[in-house]
Every structure is written in C-alpha cells, then in structure tokens.
Amino acid sequence: QVQVVESGGGLVQAGGSLTLSCAASGGFYSNYAMGWFRQTPGKEREFVAAISMSGGSTLHADSVKGRFTISRNNANKTMYLQMSSLKPEDTAVYYCAARLYYIRSRADEYDYWGQGTQVTVSS
C-alpha cells in the first residue's frame, strides 16, 4: 500500500508556470510507477504524464509535450510535474497516481490516487 498527496496547485496567468508535487508514503516507493492525470467537470480523467520506477522512462501526453515535464526524486519519495507555457485549457483538477512496477497511461490501470489539486489558468 502507498499513499500519495498532491500539492502546488493554484491560479496562474496564461503563459505562466507552476510546479506540482506529489509526496508518497506507506510503501516501497521505488517499486511504483507514478503518473499525473487531470479532470474537468463532465469529462473523463485525462492522462498527462507518467514516470517509471527509477525515473528513467517518461511518457507525456501530446497536449503537454514540450510544456510539462514529469520527474521524481526517490530519495525523498516525491514526484513533480513542472508546467510552463500554461494555457486556459490546462485548467483542471490534477491528480497524482501510483501503480506497482510498470509505467502506464490509462487511469484505470492505476491503483492509488491522491485527492487532487486545482490548477486554474486565467486568460
């Protein structure tokens, strides 16, 4: 079992930057692939980015490539999503997720979820 908690959301102007953090506890963190997803009302949870157990492999959704960067620090059990060139369409609740072993991009393949943190991008 692992618990994850997101933080760092807030209000930012279009074109601005924001970094989200996800702190993990309760499990052997290095055995978990991690991901970021986002969701707006009335829409399905959308894949944003994912990172392998070691951090050696990453996946980024086409909509965020070149703007968002996922990373992790296994020493302090924290994952990050560095966001830049933010657009109003990036506005959503962002969720941190974890699953054992292998990197995936489907929300239903993740087992552990944080509570979400709101990111609002104003135009």
Q: What percent of the chain has pLDDT over 90?
A: 95
pLDDT band at 1 (very low <50, low <70, confident <90, very high): confident
Residue 97 has φ and ψ, to the nearest 5°, of -140, 155
d(CA 122, CA 47): 22
Q: Which residue has the higher pLDDT, 118 or 26?
A: 118
| Residue 116 confidence (pLDDT) above 90 | yes
Q: With bands split at pLDDT 50, 70 and 90, how would you rate the model's confidence at 27?
A: confident
pLDDT tens digits, residue range 57-85? 999 999 999 999 999 999 999 999 999 99
Closest CA to 92 of 69, 63, 65: 63
* Other Cβ atoms closer than 10 A to 62: 6
